[in-house]
Each structure stands twice: as structure tokens, then as C-alpha cells.
Structure 1
Amino acid sequence: MGTDRLAALPPVREVPAEQVREALVGTPTVVVLDDDPTGTQTVRDLPVLTRWTADDVDWALAQGTPAFFVLTNTRSLGPDDAAARTREVVRTCLAVAGRRGMDVVFASRSDSTLRGHFPLETDVIARAAGAPDAVILAPAFPDAGRVTLDGVHWLRDGDRLTPVADSEFAADATFGYRSSRLATWVAEKSGGAIPAADVAEVGIEELRDGEVTLPRSRVIVLDAVVDDDLRAAVLAILAAERAGARYVYRVGPSFVRARAGQGAQPPLDDAELSRTVARGHGLLVAGSHVGRTSRQLERLAARRDLAHVELDVAAVLEGAPLDEITADAVDALKRRTTLVSTSRTLVTGRDEAESLAIARRVSAALTGVVRQVVHAAEPAYVLAKGGITSSDVATESLRADRAWVRGSMLPGLVSLWAPTSGPPLVVFPGNVGDDEALADVVDRLEEAACA
């Protein structure tokens, strides 16, 4: 499927972000529970919490923004721990909002290639916040070529559409799946608890003809090829919510941007980068093992002379000491841009639980090294490659409890955080950008650090 179907689509119905912002007046604040930090890449000037104490949530609500993020990092956890953390965040947010006399709604932001704890997280939110009328399912991320059309989720490359179940993402050791049609995917991931018959679809034709009616169903799938499609859906959702409907959102990054009343904005310019990035050398941290990350690292090494300190995963799992690796990285960073990475061979377990346990051990070793390097050498910035890696670097290495999303480094991709203390953090997902993207971003950061 591809050119013919895309060419047959009705014209895009332009829905300006300003129209959504006008509709947002008086609506609840959206609490975005982000299962890794990459959901911030489409937005700017929104708060991010990596802790969720009452004081932290109160700070975020006091900013007066239409939404804020809480980094739960549940994609790196097993189901029981993910459920417990989600429940804790929801209850804290409800309690703090209640004391402030404010209303909140919850978005469960997860991977646009369908990896994550579903329907577990939306089920937990529903039980903690009160049963919703439906779960809105909108994983589309047009900036990165992930679109939903005719109820099917696709990877788009120009006019070529590939069903997401035919991609490397569907073979994920922890969150793999077989279905590209989202109704069938819901049934698959729920183990049949939510049959495909209980999933309704809002098609692209309806979104573009201007008469959007949200059906009654347990799950509502939204088609979306461009952001205007998502904003059209958001207007219908807001109208339904004003009429008394209650929803939980399970979404990709682009829905958050639409729901916050923001449109696509250009990447941060050189002046903004220079004001944010300190002087010196940057520290790059890579934990992602997807093929795209490995290719990007190869191109970065070919284009830039940088130090590379590697953690051998097999040695880490055997309990090898990390003091020498840490010392090498500290010494290197004082002289030039330094990459700290795990070895590129992916080690998995016999099942989902064992694979997650291995990933957590390796991530703990990596972030422990990074924490010591940051403390000893004070990098100009930190760039973390991979969603779970970015989360662990933010929470464990930098202790960035509160931050602001300042904007993106690439169009709609790769966000720059300004923590309230510590170096700026660039959150670079493992599965986005072309082969040159990482090197391009590092070039810009290094120019800012030398300005």
C-alpha cells in the first residue's frame, strides 16, 4: 500500500493550533505520563518532572501550562512495577489538583511504534481516576513517519507505507506484537479482554470533512497522516469532554502537541542553543541497540574525532568493576567530546522478564558511570541516545527532578531539556532520524559549546 491510497485521500483540512488553544480555555490540565522521555520531542516550553512528590506536582501545576510531563519510565519496568508507579503518579496528581481546586486529565504517552505496557497503564489510570467513557488510541507521529490510516498503523517513507508489524520494532524482545490493524492489536495486547469488536475507528475522511463524531466504544482509534488530522480530532474530543465525556488518552508524541494547542515549530536556533549550552565538551551516552542507532553512531565516528569509552555488556553482567572505565571517560571529557556507550551486541534473556532484568542491570551500570563523569568533569551538555537510556540519565545520572522542554534539535524530533539545575540534556530517541541525524545534532551542540 502506498502512493495510490495516499493520492486518493481527501485534501487536508487545515486546523490551526490557535483554534485548539481557543478551545482549551477553561479545560483541565493534561498530565502526560511518559513511559520514556522521548514524548517531549514535539513540544516546547512545557514542564517535565522526573519525580512526582506532592511538591513537584504542585510546582508543575503552578506554571499554568496546558500540560506537563511526568517521566514514569515504565517501559523499562516489569508489569507489576509499571502498574504500581502509574497508580502512585495518578493518585498524587489527583490529590494535589484537588487541593488546588483544579481538574486534570491523563494521557499515557508511549511509543509510536506500539511498544509499551498496554492496556495495563490505561487500565490503572482508569481505576485510579474513575472509569472513562473510552480510551483514545492515537499513536501517530507524522514527523517520524508513523501514521495511522484506515485503522492500520504504518511506517511511512515518502509515499511508501509499511505495516508496523513488518518492522524491527514489532520483534522487540519485551513488547513484540503481530498486528498492524490497531483494533486487532488491542485484542492481541489485551489477551482478548478487549475484543476487536469493542474498538471503533475514526477514519481520515471523517476527520477531513469537518463532521467528526466520536463513537461510543471502549477504545477509539484515530487515523492521522498529518498534525491537522490530530488537531481536528482534538477539537472533537474537547467538545465531547465539555458535554460530559471522560477519556484517557493512549498516544504518541504528536497527539500531545495537538492537545496542548501547539503547532509544529522549527528547531531551536543557534542563539537559543548558545544561551542554553555551557562552554566546553559534550558527553554522549548511547544505550539503544536498534539498527538505526548503530548506523548513526558509525556516521558520527566517521565525521567527528571523539573519544569512545565502551562498557562491555557481558562483563557488566558478570559484575566487572567500572572504576577504570569511569576514569577513562573523565580524562577524555576534559580534552574532547566523549561517547560512553554499551557494546553493540544486544543481550536478551529467555523471556520478557529476564530481558527486562538484563536491560535494567546494564542501564544501571551505564548511568552510574555517567553520574560520576558528570560530577567530575562538568560537561557542556549531555546527549542521551535511546528512550530508556535518556530516562535513566535524567533521573539517575543528572538528578534532573524538574526541567523545562525548551524545544527540538530536529524538526519535531530530539528535545532539549533545561533542568532547573545541572547541564542541559538532549533526549535523542533510538529509532528516529536518518543515518546522519546524530552527527548533525552533535555538530550544532559543539558549535554552541565553542561559541
Structure 2
Amino acid sequence: MQNLKASEQLDQIPSIDREVVQDLLSKEIANSSYKIVVLDDDPTGIQTVHGVSVYTDWTKSSIQAGFREENRIFFLLTNSRGFTSAETTKAHTEIAERVQAVSEEENVPYVLISRGDSTLRGHYPLETVTLKDSIEAASSSRFDGEVIIPFFKEGGRLTIDNVHYVQYGDDLVPAGETEFAKDRTFGFHSSHLGEWVEEKTKGEFKKEDCIYITLETLRANDVEAVKKQLLAATDFQKIIVNAVDYVDVEVFVTAFLQALKEGKHFLCRSASALTKVIGGVTDKALLTRGELITEDTNHGGLIVVGSHVQKTTEQLNDLIASGLVEAIEFDVHLVLDDDAFAKEIERVRTTIEQMITSGKSVVYYTRRERLDLGDNRQEEELQLSVKISDAVTSIVSDLTVQPNYIVAKGGITSSSVGTTGLSVKRAEVAGQIKPGIPVWKTGPESKFPGCAYIVFPGNVGQAETLKEAVAVLEGK
């Protein structure tokens, strides 16, 4: 499948009066009684929203608190991209049963969004199948369709003619031909989303049986036509949504909310764009240092880098070369030797503390070469990666000095640092420091209350973006 030129493709797509679209959407949102519950497989799913709660567990009390908020949307952080299949099944069964129970108790209907990676990695279809089966077992609900919409504009993830692309400069590369498709745990081959569904479901759902919402229909603002397609869905049929801009999602969500009112039931598998639109979240300017650093500790900041994707390594190298921070490599390959690994963890932590106390900001990063155990040992590698992630997290949880700010790079890394390292139970999303890079304000129960915690996805931004974000935090 060949690469496309973004400029050429986008020029061919008809324009649309977004004001008219948003007026229709706002009326549908205002008349919708549905609570939007987003299950986030790592903390980067909040990268398009602000003023929204993130709960870092899925206890019934947290789910009740989310349902009782005035906000129409809340997030439950599952971190399931770092789970085994068995752990993922257990977590999603528990969540589904509790969300259904709370919905019935509060008499509030809901829509579940399984927020996954915009480059198609993750436990799919396991997560949505588990949610579907668990809810149908616990209620009279039956799901007619599953909406699939991996579009994420801020990260350059566009779906055109049912093919999902990752943008590199002006090049649109089919997702199945990127480094993300070669992921050792969640790899795939297909870029056409119907073929991707067929591949991931091992042929249970065929590409020719999917419902396709085209850009032509969306750009015609033909809400009625989209709604008819949604009303026709049966038996958990897959609904592929094309999108290259937020306006495409806005037209779709208008039709989606109308279909809900007519009694249809859907689950959604999406990236971050859908959550912003269906949650009715407004645009907000990027955060300034004054909004981020509300209590200056005179200490240095801390940047934690765990992600191994090529973009992260490029960004790390650019940050180190800038001289903004000191750098410490954490040799995680020592994980195979318990004593040596323990000494390495201690070395990294004590060095970090000395630097932070002296007012120097520091980045510590996992050794860039992947630990490769060989063929057919993916589950074992995943378990070792969890052990490494736990070690990276322990350095934060055992800190005896408070950094001026904390940045965590990579989805699994940022999840474990936030939930375990900082002991956050609920955080508010303050906004974004750069497009697609969200900021938590940690709650009073956390290790460092009120701290600016920047959740930096591994695959977002350009080579200079991490450096630029740190420069904002450093006031430079």
C-alpha cells in the first residue's frame, strides 16, 4: 500500500461549515442524558480534554463518583496495555459489571468508550468483547454495533478511504507499515480498518460486513444518512469511521447521539478525538508556566523516559543535547540479575535526589536497546517489561525530595508513575502543554499534592517537542 501526500489528500476533501455542524451537535449533547465512561488503556487518552476527572482505579466508589459528577464524561485509567490477556479480561469484567450496576442504581444511561492507541496497538478485540459479554450477561442490553474511530488529529492519525495513516511530515504512511505495527506484543499487518478487524478477530468479522462511514457522507453533513447506517447495525457489527478533522467526528457524533435516542446500543473503540467531541469538551489554549508551576520549590524538575519507540529516542536525544537537563541512563538490562538491578535502582535514585535538591533538572531514561529474549517469548518479555516499569516507578515513589515538576514519557511509564509512583487516586486534567500532551494536577491524596504531572505519549510530537515542553517548564 503506497504512502500518500497529506497536502494533496486534504486539498481534495470538500470543506464544510463547521459552525452549522457544531450548532447541531451542541443541541444533541444538551439533550443527551448519557454519561460517557472512558476506559483508558494508558494515561494518554486524556490528551485532548481539560477540566475532566481521571480515576486511577475502578472501585465501585470511584465509578459512583464519576457518575455523580456534573461533567458528562470521566475517565477510568486501566493501564491495560501493560497487562497480560488474563489481567485484561479480569479488569474489564469487573469494570463492566460495576458500571452497569452503578448505572442502574443512579438511573443514568451510559456509553462506554474503550480508548486505545491511535496507531492500533492494544488488547483488541479482547477488551471490547469482554465488556460486551459482561454487560449483556448482567443486563437485558444487547449491543448492535462497535464504533471504530482511531482518528487523532494532534498526532497525525488520519483515516481516508477506510485506511488508517500515520503522518510523518507531509507523508501519510499506512499504519500497518509503521514501526507501531511491528510491536512485539500488539503487532498487526493491515492498514485498511476492515481488514484490520478481520485480522484481529481472526475472521469472525469480515471486512465486507463492516459498515463504513465515508468522508463524503460526513462532509455533506448528512446526519440522517449516517444515522440510517447506525440504525442498520446488528450483532455487534463493526462501524468504521473515516476522519481527517474534528468536524468529521462532530458530524458523526451528532448522528450517533440520535441513534442512541432511537434505542440502539453501541460500544466504541477509539483514540482521543472521539472522547473530546462526545464529551462536549471545548478548545483551550496551551498551558503556560504560570498555570503549570503554581508553587515553585526551587528544586529541579524530573523527566522519566521509558518508551522505546523511535520518536521517543529522537526526542530524548534532542533534550539531552539542549543542555536543559542532566541525564542519567538506567541500565534496565540488569533486570536479569536481582542484586545488580537493586543496586542500579539505588544508584539512579540517589543521584536524582542530589541533582533535584541542588536545583538541577534531570532526565533518567531506560537503556535504549530493547531486551530481546528471542522468538515466542512475548508474554515473558511483557512480564519483564512490567518488572522494569515497576523499577522505574519505584524511583519516583521512593524520592525523598519533591521535584518542581514531573514529566513521564510513554504510556505504560506515565501510568505507573502516576498511579503507583505518585499515588494519585483522582486527578484533574488541567489541559495540554503541547498539542496532544496532557497535564494532570495531582490530588491531595498524592505523594506530591498539586504537582504538575505531564503525561507525554511515546509517539506524539516532533524531535524537538520534549525539549520544547521542558523549556516551558523551565521558563526558558
Superposition TM-score tier, normalisation by shorter sequence: over 0.9
Deviation of 1:80 after TM superposition, in Å, equals 1.4
**Match in the other structure for 2:381:** 355
**Match in the other structure for 2:25:** 20
**Match in the other structure for 2:421:** 397
Does residue 229 in structure 1 map to residue 248 in structure 2?
A: yes
Does residue 8 in structure 1 map to residue 12 in structure 2?
A: yes
**Match in the other structure for 2:189:** 178
**Match in the other structure for 1:125:** 131
**Match in the other structure for 2:41:** 35
Secondary structure at the aligned position of 1:221 is classed as: strand
Q: Is 393-402 or 213-222 further displaced after alignment?
A: 213-222
Q: Is the 8 A contact 1:41 1:408 kept in 2?
A: yes
Q: When the two structures are aligned, how many residues end up with a matched partner?
A: 445
1:341/1:8 CA distance change after superposition, 3 Å: same
1:341/1:159 CA distance change after superposition, 3 Å: closer
**Match in the other structure for 2:122:** 116
Deviation of 1:17 after TM superposition, in Å, equals 4.6
Residues 347-403 of structure 1 show CA distances to partners (whole Å, capped at 9, x for unaligned) of 134333122112111101111122112xx0111221100001000101110110101
Partners of 2:25 and 2:298 in 1: CA distance: 39
Residues 402-425 of structure 1 show CA distances to partners (whole Å, capped at 9, x for unaligned) of 0111100112x1100012122231
Secondary structure at the aligned position of 2:120 is classed as: coil
Q: Is the 8 A contact 1:17 1:261 kept in 2?
A: no
Residues 194-235 of structure 1 show CA distances to partners (whole Å, capped at 9, x for unaligned) of 121221110000001121324234000000000000111000
1:274/1:357 CA distance change after superposition, 3 Å: closer
Select the residue among 154, 158, 179 that pairs with 1:143. Answer: 154
1:222/1:447 CA distance change after superposition, 3 Å: same
What is the identity, as a one-letter code, of the residue corresponding to 1:11?
S
1:126/1:167 CA distance change after superposition, 3 Å: same
Deviation of 1:308 after TM superposition, in Å, equals 2.3
**Match in the other structure for 2:348:** 325
What is the identity, as a one-letter code, of the residue corresponding to 1:21?
S
Does residue 436 in structure 1 map to residue 436 in structure 2?
A: no
- Unpaired stretches in structure 1, ≥5 consecutive residues: none
Q: Is the 8 A contact 1:13 1:229 kept in 2?
A: no
**Match in the other structure for 1:169:** 180
Secondary structure at the aligned position of 1:114 is classed as: coil
Select the residue among 424, 436, 443 that pairs with 2:452. Answer: 424
**Match in the other structure for 2:392:** 366
Deviation of 1:276 after TM superposition, in Å, equals 7.0
Does residue 288 in structure 1 map to residue 293 in structure 2?
A: no
Partners of 1:379 and 1:28 in 2: CA distance: 40
TM-score w.r.t. the length of structure 1 is 0.94
Secondary structure at the aligned position of 2:398 is classed as: helix
Partners of 2:298 and 2:67 in 1: CA distance: 33
**Match in the other structure for 2:328:** 309
**Match in the other structure for 1:153:** 164
Does residue 188 in structure 1 map to residue 196 in structure 2?
A: no
Secondary structure at the aligned position of 2:303 is classed as: strand
What is the root-mean-square deviation of aligned Cα atoms in Å? 1.8
Partners of 2:240 and 2:470 in 1: CA distance: 37
What is the identity, as a one-letter code, of the residue corresponding to 1:133?
D
Q: Is the 8 A contact 2:48 2:438 kept in 1?
A: yes
Residues 61-107 of structure 1 show CA distances to partners (whole Å, capped at 9, x for unaligned) of 22211110000011111111111111112222222232222222100
**Match in the other structure for 1:51:** 57
**Match in the other structure for 1:415:** 438
- Unpaired stretches in structure 2, ≥5 consecutive residues: 137-141
How do residues 51-130 of structure 1 correspond to structure 2 at under 5 angstroms?
51-130=57-136
Secondary structure at the aligned position of 1:113 is classed as: coil
Q: Is 47-56 or 31-40 further displaced after alignment?
A: 47-56
Deviation of 1:268 after TM superposition, in Å, equals 1.5
**Match in the other structure for 2:139:** none
Select the residue among 204, 214, 221 that pairs with 1:210. Answer: 221
Residues 317-345 of structure 1 show CA distances to partners (whole Å, capped at 9, x for unaligned) of 32221223222222222121121221111
